[in-house]
Structure 1
Amino acid sequence: MIYDKEKFFYSVKRSIPILIGYFPVGMAYGILMANAGYQFGWSVIISMFVYTGSLQMLMVSFLVNQIPLMTVAVTALLLNSRHIFYGLSFIEKFREYGIWKYFLIYGLTDENYSLLCSYKETDGVNEKWVHIFSTILLWVYWITFSGIGGLVRYLGNILPVAVMATLVIYCLRAVDLSSWAGFMPQLIAVAVTAGLHFWKGNTLLSVTGGTVCYMVLIRSVF
């Protein structure tokens, strides 16, 4: 008898190729959602409940253009109608899985269908739990990568401002206003940072330039 954790890791091993494939597609979806103005949480929620990559990609433009709900419903039906035939081949099998059958029906994507169909009996491995674990893993992969894609794009928008603010706070945290040499290095460094940022629009360049300027001033000039 193989313990559940062994069945789980067996399922993980089988799902690795799909994990690799989900990475770029899920990330791309999350980034598309973020570019459309939706925070990464929306990517996660939609991936949890819609869970169909091709339709989710289309939904980005549907949401942006406020497409009528009926059009969305018809498109979803036509685009995913093939899943009806996927399910036909597993009707009898899923009936044996109790309440889990509802989640397995929901999670029967193209990729999961290929996993379930390619299952081969292995000594001590319970087919039911391999199917369940595989379905859960693929669902979690998709949700995770969608969220990461949206988060990466979101952080890309806010990090430049955050880094600039951190540099300014660092430069001004111990300013001595009682002397000329006390605040000039910080003031010049902030000015250089801001100037480079407006000139080149490159946060890394501007922060690096401002920091180097500050270090040179306090060590060699003031």
Structure 2
Amino acid sequence: MTALKAAFPHTLPVLTGYLFLGTAFGVLLGSKGYSLGWAILMSTIIYAGAGQFVAIGLLTTAFNPLYAFIITLVVNARHLFYGISLLNRVSGIGRKKSYVAFGLTDETFSILCSTEAPDGVDRSWFMFFITLLDHGYWIAGSALGVVLGAMVDFNAKGIDFVMTALFVVIFIEQWKSQQYHGPAIIGIATSTVCLLLFGSNNFIIPAMLAIVLVLILCKKTLERRTAA
């Protein structure tokens, strides 16, 4: 309970965002004829915001397993890099590591990277409850969206843009919290180049690989300037 109480305040921004994002997902899913049970099941088992928005399209078209695998991999490939960068942080937390890995989202990753467990609070339970609370917020938002969507009749076209909006807000907050913006600028520049070279449908994985490569090559310079 001590760890839960310590984790909760750090997840409040995610609570606000996930209620709106989850509601958008629920509304969109409900508009395609899927019930409350589907929303809860998808948000519990899949638990991938952008991936779930993509899944709605996959559910409403002819099923192609290979295409579904590739598009899901592309959309969520960034989680591979999240997991690698968290290896040191999750070491020593025992069986909770499996759930923390499963529940790793952009927002949870941001909190786990920037927040330390307070003195006297078990680190493994602290990380576990941050992940669990964020997961619960997403499930609640998804369920709320289906219910509200069934009560109000409106055109849901374009509502999935809320995911893009959230990523922009996260980037702005990360930018404001840091004095040195070298890594962020590298990310923007590298992604822009890959977008021009590979096109909007194929640039995500090349961009991520290129960003990692550039960051590794510039590691010492970036660390020195960040310290300064």
TM range, smaller chain? 0.5 to 0.7
- Tell me the CA shift for residue 153 of structure 1: 2.0
Match of 1:75 among 71, 77, 84: 71
Q: Deviations 1:35-68 (Å, cap 9, x if unpaired)?
A: 0000111011011111111111111121112341
Residues of 2 paired with 1:32 and 1:122: CA distance? Answer: 39
CA RMSD of aligned residues (A): 1.5
TM-score (norm 2): 0.64
Matched, 1:130 2:152: no
Partner of 2:58: 62
Residues of 1 paired with 2:45 and 2:118: CA distance? Answer: 32
Match of 1:40 among 31, 36, 51: 36
- Tell me the CA shift for residue 126 of structure 1: 2.0
- Tell me the CA shift for residue 93 of structure 1: 3.3
Q: Deviations 1:58-81 (Å, cap 9, x if unpaired)?
A: 111211123412111100111111
Partner of 1:153: 149
Percent identical: 31
- Tell me the CA shift for residue 92 of structure 1: 3.5
Match of 1:140 among 125, 131, 136: 136
Structure 1 residue runs without a partner (length 5+): 158-222
Residues of 1 paired with 2:94 and 2:118: CA distance? Answer: 22
Partner of 1:188: none
Partner of 2:105: 109
Report the 3-state secondary structure (helix = DSSP H, G, I; strand = E; otherwise coil) of the residue aligned with 2:44: helix
TM-score (norm 1): 0.65
Residues of 1 paired with 2:119 and 2:56: CA distance? Answer: 45
How do 1:181-192 and structure 2 match up within 5 A?
none
Residues of 2 paired with 1:111 and 1:56: CA distance? Answer: 16
Structure 2 residue runs without a partner (length 5+): 154-228
- Tell me the CA shift for residue 114 of structure 1: 0.3
Report the 3-state secondary structure (helix = DSSP H, G, I; strand = E; otherwise coil) of the residue aligned with 1:47: helix
Contact 1:27 1:145 in 2 (8 A): yes
